[in-house]
Amino acid sequence: MRKTLFSLLTLTLILSLSTAWAWEPDPNDKAQLEVQAAILAMKAKDPGMDAWFKNAAGYAVFPKVGKGAIGIGGAHGNGLVIAGDKVVGTTEMSQISIGLSLGGQSYAEFIFFKDATALGDFKRGNWEAGAQASAVIVKAGASADAAYNKGVAIFTNISGGVMADASVGGQKFEYTAVK
């Protein structure tokens, strides 16, 4: 019984390491290591997210987004855009909202692009996610029911804080290609 259990655990570890992500982060790049940690934390909550990384034309990862509000709110985060198994750019997200909001939280945000057209729209700069764009909060099984909307899917993984939020707002993104 122990040998079987050990063999099963070993096989699971090997398979999970081989499919952890499609790109290999630079161990000397702090931003890439933060993105790697955010991806691992998300996959720990919902292993089904692996399919999103494998099947997307590209994705943007914001490992640390800070959000706060007292009526009027704001959020900000920096991230990386990954496509074709490499980092292709950096990105910055800013958000403003108005409504019944109070508190603060931190989270990681993941934007998946279904195809080259959706990724290209983002890379052209000044891309916005309006109030109609909804993010799926990552938890076990959340990825199974999620779908692309206009070629884009957004997921968040809340890491801390408390926030009551019934507001309307949008996110604005800036993209800079890596040279």
Summarised one tens digit per residue, pLDDT across range 90-140 is: 999 998 888 777 888 888 999 999 999 999 999 997 577 755 455 666 666
> What's the pLDDT at 41?
92
Structure tokens at 8: 């099963």
Percent of residues, the chain, with pLDDT higher than 70: 73
Domain total for the chain? Answer: 1
Contact by Cβ (8 Å): 111, 154:
yes
| Distance (Å, whole) CA 120 – CA 101 | 33
101: domain range? 2-177
What is the pLDDT averaged over residues 153-163?
A: 81
For residue 36, what pLDDT band results from cuts at 50, 70 and 90?
very high
Residue 100's alpha-carbon distances to 93, 103, 158, 162, 170, in angstroms, are 22, 10, 20, 14, 15
What is the pLDDT averaged over residues 48-63?
A: 94
Residue type, 14: I
> What's the pLDDT at 22?
57
Sequence-ordered list of residues with C-beta below 8 angstroms from that of 52, at least 6 positions apart, any chain = 59, 110, 112, 143, 146, 153, 155
> What's the pLDDT at 138?
65
For residue 167, what pLDDT band results from cuts at 50, 70 and 90?
low
Looking at 40-44, 75-79, 96-100, which range is the least confident one?
Answer: 96-100
Percent of residues, the chain, with pLDDT higher than 90: 39
Number of Cβ within a 10 Å radius of residue 168 = 10
| Distance (Å, whole) CA 142 – CA 47 | 10
Looking at 23-27, 30-34, 155-159, which range is the least confident one?
Answer: 23-27
Mapped onto helix, strand or coil, the DSSP state of residue 119 is helix
Number of Cβ within a 10 Å radius of residue 46 = 20
What is the pLDDT averaged over residues 145-156?
A: 85
| Distance (Å, whole) CA 68 – CA 96 | 10
Residue scoring higher pLDDT (176 or 165): 176
Q: What angle do CA 65, 60, 82 make, to 5 degrees?
A: 135
Contact by Cβ (8 Å): 112, 152:
yes
User: Which residues sit opposite 131 in a β-bridge?
Assistant: none
Residue 113's alpha-carbon distances to 7, 56, 75, 148, in angstroms, are 37, 6, 22, 8
